[in-house]
Every structure is written in C-alpha cells, then in structure tokens.
Amino acid sequence: MFKKLRLGTIITTFISLAVSLGMLQLFLNANHNMTLQMKTSAINNMQTSLNAQKQIISDYISSQETLLNTYSKAPCIISLLKAPDNSRLQKIAQQYTESFFKQLTAWEDIYTANWNSLVLAHSNIDTVGITSIQGESLNDLQRAIFKTNGLYNAGVMKSSISQKLVLSLYCPVFDTDGKTLLGYVGGSPFIEGLQKELASLQVQGLKHASCTMINLKNDMYILNDDTNLIATQIKDDATFAIIKKIHSNSTKNEDSLEYTKSGKGKYLALYKYLPERNWAVILSDSEKEIYANAYTSMRRLGIVCIISYILIVCLTWCIVRYSTKPLKTIEQDIIRLKNLDLSPSPTKEKHKHPNREVSNIYVAMDSLSATFRQIVSTLNQCSTSLNESSDTMSGASSALIDCVNDNSATTEELAASINVTNSTIDTVCNEIRKLRDIVASVESKVQISNEQSQELIKTSEQMKTMAANSLKSSNLKVAENRKNIEASIINLQALTHINDMVTQILDITEQTNLLSLNASIEAARAGEAGRGFAVVANEIGNLAQISSKTASQIQEICNETNANIENIENCFNDILSFMEQDVSSKFNDFASIAVESNSAVELIHSLIYEINELSKAFGLSLTEIRTQIDTVHQASCENEHGVDDIVEKIEKTNLTAETLNQIVNTNQRNATSLRKIIDQFTE
C-alpha cells in the first residue's frame, strides 16, 4: 500500500507542478495584457478629460478676450483717447462703457485709460480720473503690451476690490492708422464660472484627480484646486519638473510625468502646453487611484487561478488513486515470477475486461510465464547440443594454431628483405632530392639574372634615347643661343649712335657759347639798357658750359660701354665655340657608348636565357628520375604493407584460435550453468 501511494503521490506532484507552471504563465500573461489595457484606458480617460479642460479654458479665455477687444474697437473709445480733455466725448464714452458692462456676465469691471494709466472711462464712475497703476508696475505693463503687440493676458490674480479671483486683461488702442498708440482698455472677468465648469468635468473613476493651470512666463499658478495657491509662485518640485520638460522641448505640446509625493506614493501627471499663451494645463492623480481597476482585476484573476489550481490537483489525485488500485494483483504475480513460479495465475479470470489497460497487463503476464516455460525447455536442448559442439571446436582450434605459427615465421623473413630494399630506395631518393634542390637554386638565380638583364636592357635603351635626345636638344639650344646673342650684340651696338648725338650736342654748346659771347658784347654796347640782357646772356653761357661738360662725360661713358660690348661679344663667341666643339662632341661620344652598352647587355641576356633553358631541361630529367624511383618505392611500400597485413592477419588468426579455444571452455562452463538453472525450474 505504501509503494502504491508513493507512486500516486509522485504522479500527482508532477501533474500539480506542471499545472502550477501553466497557471502561473497564464496569470502573468493575462495580468500583463489586462493591466496594460486598463492602464492605457485610464491614461486615455485622463487625456480625454485634459483635452476637454484645455478646450473649456481656451474657449472661456478667448470669449473674454473677444469681448474686451470688441470694447476697444468702439469709435467713442478711440475718440476719447485722441481728445481726453473733451467733456462731451468723456460723457459719451462713459455711457458706452456702462452700457457695455451691463451686457457682460461675471465681470468685475471694464475701463479705458491713457498710456499713463489715467482712467478716462470706467464701469464704476467713481473710479474715473484715478491713476490705477504707477511706477515700475506701469513700466512692466507697458513693456508687456508692447511685447505682445496685441491683447495682453496677465493671468489670474486676486482683486484688491472684491478679493475674488479675476482674469486680468489689457488691450492696446491704436489710432485709425493702426500704428499710433493712444492708450489701452482693461477688464477683469471673474473666473468662478470657469472654476465651476472645470469642477463639473470629473474624470470617470478618478475622484481625487486635480487640475492645475500655470503661467510659464512668471512661474505662477493660474488655476488650482487649492485657491490659496492661485496667483502665487510655484514651489512644487513636480510642477517645476514639468516646466523644465516643456522648456527643453517646446515643440512637444503634450506629455506625461511620473513622480513621487512624500508619504503619498507615486503620482502620474499629464500636461498640455498652450504655446500661444505660454500656459500649461496639468491633470494629476495617484497611480493607486488611476490603476485601481487594474489592481482589482489582477487580484480577482489571482484568486480564480488559485481556486482552479486546487480543483485540478484534487481531481488529479482522485483519478491517480482510482487508476493505480488494480496494480495490487499485478504486484503479486510479479513476485511469483521473482520466485521462479511459472504456473498460471489463479486470479487472472477476475480481471479480464476489454476496455481496461490493467486486464491487458494480466494477459501480458500470463504470456510472459508461458514464454519463460518454453525458454527453459529450449535451453535444456541447447545445453546438450552445446557440449557436443564444444568438443569438436576444441580439436579444430588446436590444428589452426599450429598452421598459424608456421606462416608467421615465413612472413617475418619476407618482411626483413623488403625493409632492406626500402632503405636503399630512401637513400637514392634523398640524394636525388638534394640534386634537385641544387638545380632549383641555380634555376632561381638564373631567373633573377634574366630579370636583371631585362631591366638593364631597358635602362640601356633609355640611356641611348636620352643621349640622342640630349644631343639634338643641345644642338638646337646652341643654335638658338647664337641667334639670341647676335641679336643682343646688334642691339648693344646701337648704343654707338649716342656718340654721334653727343658730338652734335658739343657742336651746339660751342655755338651757344659763341652766341652768349656776342650777346654780352652787344649788351655792353647798349650800356645800362642792356644790363638785363647781359645777365641772360651770361646765364646762357653758363648753361652752354655745363651742357658741354655733361656731353663730354656722356661721351666718355659711351666709349667705356663700347669697350665692354666688345668684351661681351668676345665672351659669347668663346662660350658658343665651347658648346659647339666640346659639349656636342662629348654628347656624340656618350650616345656611341650607350649603343655599344645596349648591344653587350642584349648578348648577356641571350646567354642567360640559354642557361635558363638548360637548367629547366636538367630539372625535368631529375623530376622524371624521381618519379620512377617514387614508383618503385611505392611498390616496395605496398609490398611491405601487404606483408604487414599478412603478419597482422596471422596474429589475428592466432588470437582468433586462442579465442575459439577460450569460447569452447566458456561454452562448456555455460552448459553446466544452464543445466543448473534448468534444474531449478524443473524441481
């Protein structure tokens, strides 16, 4: 009973383990998918509510801004700002302001002021004539209106008059040209209506969700569930994190942020950024409330899985217990076989049933007993036959061992002869291999010489070509230089004409000197009247002397230049003579030597080529000899292997004969053992 229960327990344990793993996998997958879907649904629900809140806020503020913009476009307002001291215009504008204010809903006030914030018309007439804003606050307002270049929304603030939260709006008023700034209009609508609309918009399943609107220009709260925070500086770390995220990626107008509140757990915030106003709307709630449905579904699914697991384990245990109950009778039959009792089972007729696996086991046990009885009978017959065969095999194995010993001696002598032959062939192969290596080395060096001779031929051809080209080029250069030098000498010789010109200048100066002398004589004759003319004549004489000296110096320089030109001409003639006689002849000699060198190199190349061809032929002959020796060596090795195979087979035959002898002895012992076993079954 203990063993049967243990088997059932093991089966139940394995099934329970498999079911638990499958149930755990099912729970994890279902939980993941369900949780993900519910979390996505909750976030989408928050996103939808946030979109609705954003739309309500945008529509509310746009409608209030539109009303103020309409008020600013009134002609009477523009006329009053152009002529603020006109009492008639003041009265008309005041009446229009009061009438317009009565049409508004939930507004604290509306008014018109000049650029210095002097109120000209107000919904409360007692406020007319008061300067509403002064000092630095006025400067900040003016800069903000200029910066927006349109309607300026200062956000939500607490009114100093009613102590209620209002939306502070300002709209500049321009002249008819659209450029000249006359003043501005302002208004303060209450935000109670907006707060009520937002409060009525509850997120389904999120009772504690909070809505916040912030101003990113000054980091202040515009709207918050806690009215004490409205129009105050932001101090919450999570809100600052959202502001930082918006500033880091201003093109992304919506996103989410997960954060942790001290002592309250994890929270999730969704926000939408309004870039046209630089505001942001934030909707936040605790993850515990957002994912409450998901957590509830997860717990329910876990309970269902545990109950299902318990039911499956109990049902499995009952089925295993019922299925293993008939194995008691089968155990008794197996014990009878253990005790070598081959008689038919007395209980097998009770459990024959065509649809029960246990009845098949009973039939198999009965068949196994009958088979054992037949085997015992057959073994009895085989034992007798085995004894007779063992005697015959013993005589045959002795004769086989004698023959194997004779063949082994003959084969060993043949193997020794083949080993001597192989040793001689190996010696010849080694000598031929060395000779072949020498030929290969010679052939390699000849090949290298052949390549170097080809390179030398190419170099010689290049030298010959360069020598011919250089000779031709030098001849052309010499002829060209001769022509250039001759032309230069002719040009230099043109300087000799300067001597003729200098001679003419000297003649002119002598005539001028004579003319000066005559003029001086005539001036002396004229007396006092010719004194001035005498000075001129004297200066002309001096100039003639200076010109004469200069001309003489130029004539000396020209003589020296002519001598230098003759020297240059002689030098050029010597250089041309050297180039024509010595350099050209040397180039001719060099070209002749290059041609002779080329012929010698070609002869060397042809001799190296013949040596290379002879080396190749000698190498081929050695290769052929080596091939024939390898063939002989291979045949000898095959004979050696054949002899080795014969020796190995003889040894195997010898071992086989010994094995047969051992088998004969073993069979005889087995026959004796079988006889003992048969005697146990037949007692």
Buried b (16+ CB within 10 A) or exposed e, 256-271: ebeeeeeeeeebbbbb
pLDDT in tens, 622-675: 677 667 667 766 766 766 676 677 767 767 777 776 777 777 677 767 767 766
**How high is the pLDDT of residue 349?**
47
Locate tokens 């195997």: which residue? 652
pLDDT in tens, 161-184: 888 888 889 999 988 887 888 899
- What span, in angstroms and rounded, lies between the C-alpha atoms of 612 and 591? 32
Beta bridge partners of 112: 121, 185
What kind and span of H or E run contains 168?
Answer: strand 165-174
- Residue 454 makes CB contacts below 8 A (sequence gap 6+) with 605
* Least confident piece of the model among 239-253, 398-412, 646-660: 398-412
State the first-to-last Cα distance of the chain, in angstroms, to the nearest integer. 33
User: What band does 354 get if pLDDT is binned at 50, 70 and 90?
Assistant: very low
Dump the DSSP string for 621-654. Answer: HHHHHHHHHHHHHHHHHHHHHHHHHHHHHHHHHH
If you average pLDDT over each of 4-18, 83-97, 438-452, 571-585, which comes out highest? 83-97
* Contact present, 276 and 250 (Cβ < 8 Å): no
Tell whether the model's pLDDT for residue 348 goes beyond 60: no
DSSP-assigned letter for residue 233: B
CA distances from 390 to 90, 123, 156, 396, 443 (A): 148, 139, 120, 10, 74
**How high is the pLDDT of residue 355?**
43
DSSP-assigned letter for residue 291: T
At 254, list the tokens.
């919506």
- pLDDT, mean over the chain: 75
Locate tokens 């038919």: which residue? 344
**Cβ atoms within 10 Å of 155's Cβ, excluding its own:** 21
- What span, in angstroms and rounded, lies between the C-alpha atoms of 73 and 55? 27
User: What band does 1 get if pLDDT is binned at 50, 70 and 90?
Assistant: very low
Fold held by 477-593: Helix Hairpins (1.10.287)
Q: What is the mean pLDDT of residues 214-221?
A: 83
pLDDT in tens, 491-514: 666 656 666 776 777 778 777 777
Locate tokens 């009778």: which residue? 329
Tell whether the model's pLDDT for residue 110 goes beyond 90: yes
User: What band does 342 get if pLDDT is binned at 50, 70 and 90?
Assistant: low
Q: Are strands 181-189 and 265-274 parallel, antiparallel or unpaired?
A: unpaired
pLDDT in tens, 27-76: 788 777 877 777 777 778 778 877 888 888 888 888 998 999 999 989 99
677 against 317, higher pLDDT: 317
pTM: 0.43
CA distances from 486 to 71, 475, 480, 564, 569 (A): 105, 17, 10, 15, 8
Q: List the one residue out of 109, 104, 103, 80 whose CA is nearest residue 92.
A: 80
Beta-sheet strands, E only, within 175-274: 181-189, 210-215, 220-223, 254-261, 265-274
**How high is the pLDDT of residue 211?**
82
Q: What is the mean pLDDT of residues 71-97?
A: 91
* Least confident piece of the model among 294-298, 350-354, 357-361: 350-354
CA distances from 224 to 107, 213, 229, 239 (A): 20, 7, 7, 12
User: What band does 329 get if pLDDT is binned at 50, 70 and 90?
Assistant: low
Q: Where are the domains of the chain?
A: 21-295, 477-593
* Contact present, 133 and 126 (Cβ < 8 Å): no
- What span, in angstroms and rounded, lies between the C-alpha atoms of 117 and 131? 5
User: What band does 89 get if pLDDT is binned at 50, 70 and 90?
Assistant: very high
- Architecture (CATH level 2) of domain 21-295: 2-Layer Sandwich (3.30)
pLDDT in tens, 265-296: 888 888 888 887 788 888 888 877 777 777 77
- Residue 34 makes CB contacts below 8 A (sequence gap 6+) with 294, 297, 298, 301
Percent of the chain that is helix, strand, coil (3-state, to 5): 75, 10, 15
pLDDT in tens, 116-133: 889 999 999 988 989 888
* Contact present, 401 and 653 (Cβ < 8 Å): no
Buried b (16+ CB within 10 A) or exposed e, 290-303: bbebbeebbeebee
User: What band does 399 get if pLDDT is binned at 50, 70 and 90?
Assistant: low
Tell whether the model's pLDDT for residue 4 goes beyond 50: no
**How high is the pLDDT of residue 635?**
65
- What span, in angstroms and rounded, lies between the C-alpha atoms of 155 and 191? 11
**How high is the pLDDT of residue 71?**
92
* Contact present, 223 and 310 (Cβ < 8 Å): no
